[in-house]
Amino acid sequence: MSEQTRFNLAQADLPKFWYNINADSPITPAPVLHPGTLESVTPDFLSVLFPMDLILQEISAERYIEIPQEVREIYKLWRPTPLIRAARLEKALGTSAHIYYKYEGSSPVGSHKPNTAVAQAFYNKSAGVRAMTTETGAGQWGTSLAMACNYFGLDLEVYMVKVSYNQKPYRRIFMETFGAQVYASPTDQTNYGRALLETDPQNPGSLGIAISEAVEAAASSNGKKKYGLGSVLNHVLLHQTVIGEESLKQMDLAGEYPDVVIGCAGGGSNFAGIAFPFLRENLKDGQRTRLLAVEPTATPSLTKGVYAFDYGDTAQMAPIVKMHTLGHTFMPPEIHAGGLRYHGMAPTLSALYDAGLVEAKAVKQRAAFEAAIQFAKTEGIIPAPESAHAIRAAIDEALDAKEKGEKRVILFNLSGHGHFDMIAYEKYLRDELVDYEYPAAAVEEAMQHLPQVTAFA
């Protein structure tokens, strides 16, 4: 094999289509339900939140959906992203494994999130929308949609989880630089936020709460605003598949094919983005690549959650979907991987996990940061805390291969850099970070609040 460590594609290799796993999945998607009636949602209901083009993508069974030229032109600011062999990390581990990472931190905002943000802003602009609302946890999604809305001349309101708003001020400033209005959620801007603050003025917030506020702000605007979602739903996941489509070409340039593909998982978009094109190769061409989603032990929706219908938000305003969930009443601990602090997992990914087509594991916060620092010292990139979970799993895979004397080809998605996460690294270096494992009893209690869906059980 070549000693080359970077595998770059030309702009001519930029994918022209997004891949839709629903075309090849052996699992029939569960219906999306109205939060009030518990019946299948209608396009009219969804159109309060989303433009019709995104609604059609949500329910599409087409294998490939063409990427609009306007979106591809903005993608060219950073795509195709590099695939890099982590040769120095391999040497430090003394492993026989080959480790590759797809570096999405090379985007203007430092993460994979613009892949869908640009698409969503484009479709909203095309539908005549002038303003959007959204939530954000760590701020990667909020900064991405702020950038995208700026390019298409849309106003944006961002409801940022309060604990992340305080932990990551530079991401807030980044969003404001692009012209977005950013609020610490729960806020006094919405009825739901005000109700929560009356009960607990120190409420640290959660992604479920921030989603509720963003949904309320859009739904109560009389059509003036639409809502943008950074993960979970199918149209978001398929926009991210540019990652995996490029990776397939780049692994071919490297002369290898991955035995395992790894991504961190909060709502599921960056994992799906790299993994779903490889799952297609498993399903259609007989490949046997393992696909491993990695989540925190603090928010273990796949590994400890229940596969059931649940609300997508805390206030029970968003549609009900069937997913692996810790319960919409879940209040996550204040871990620093803010992008992974969601109570549920993407319905598409949840169904595939339930069917045994993908794997999942949970790792502790301190172990993730230990891996992140080892990666930074060898590869020179300080990763986002979310991405550190994937790095932890990749290192574990490499050490397992070393112990077994195997050659194993490992590919993981480095979904973002950690330049705005230095407070988290400071806390780790000062030995101030603690591990947290979500107790099974808390999951059992939360299950008592699930919607009583019987027609589609």
Largest CA distance in the chain: 63
Q: What is residue 1's predicted lDDT score, i.e. its pLDDT?
A: 42
Give the H or E element holding residue 434: none
Torsion sign, CA atoms 325, 347, 275, 231: negative
Q: What is the mean pLDDT of residues 151-180?
A: 93
Residue 177 CB: number of other CB atoms within 10 A? Answer: 12
- Does 333 score more than 70 pLDDT? no
Identify any residues that bridge with 410 across adjacent strands, giving them in sequence order: 99, 260
Residue 143 clears pLDDT 70, i.e. is over it: yes
Average pLDDT over residues 162-183: 92
CA distance 346 to 16: 24
Tell me the two tokens of residue 40.
């299948």
Give pLDDT tens digits for 86-128: 999 999 999 999 999 999 999 999 999 999 999 999 999 999 9
Residues 419 and 105: beta-carbon distance below 8 Å: no
Mean pLDDT, rounded, for 7-27: 96
Which of 390, 322, 394 is CA-nearest to residue 352? 322
In this prediction, residue 332 carries a pLDDT of: 66
Which is nearest to 7 in space by CA: 96, 74, 101, 88?
A: 101
Q: What is the pLDDT of residue 94?
A: 97
Q: What is the dihedral of CA 214, 217, 221, 226, to 10 degrees?
A: -10
Q: Is the pLDDT of residue 369 over 90?
A: yes
State mean pLDDT over 301-320. 89
Rounded-to-integer distance, Cα 39 and Cα 277, Å = 32
pTM higher than 0.85: yes
**SS3 per-residue string spanning 262-294:** EEECCCCHHHHHHHHHHHHHHHHHCCCCEEEEE
Q: Which helix (H) or strand (E) holds 93?
A: helix 87-93
Sign of CA dihedral 319, 320, 322, 327: positive
Please spell the DSSP secondary structure of 138-159, one letter per residue. SSHHHHHHHHHHHHHT-EEEEE
DSSP H helices in 153-257: 162-167, 169-177, 191-199, 207-219, 234-239, 242-254
Q: Whole-angstrom Cα distance, residue 297 to residue 340?
A: 10
CATH architecture of 6-14+67-110+237-449: 3-Layer(aba) Sandwich (3.40)
Average pLDDT over all residues of the chain: 92
pLDDT of residue 220: 92
All structural domains of the chain with their residue ranges = 6-14+67-110+237-449, 26-64+113-234
Q: Span 208-235, mean pLDDT? A: 92
**Looking at this protein, which amino acid is placed at residue 284?**
K
| Least confident interval from 161-175, 279-293, 382-396, 443-457 | 443-457
Q: What torsion, rounded to 10 degrees, do the Cα atoms 88, 92, 94, 99 define?
A: -40
The pLDDT of 276-288, averaged and rounded, is 96
| Range of lowest pLDDT (44-48, 257-261, 367-371, 404-408) | 44-48
> How many Cβ atoms sit within 10 Å of the Cβ of residue 3?
6
**Residue count of the chain:** 457
CATH 3.40.50.1100 corresponds to the domain 26-64+113-234: yes
DSSP per residue over 221-237, as a string? TTTSEEE--SSSSHHHH
Reading the block at residue 170, the tokens are 């530079």
pLDDT in tens, 395-454: 999 999 999 999 999 999 999 999 988 988 999 999 988 888 877 787 788 888 888 887
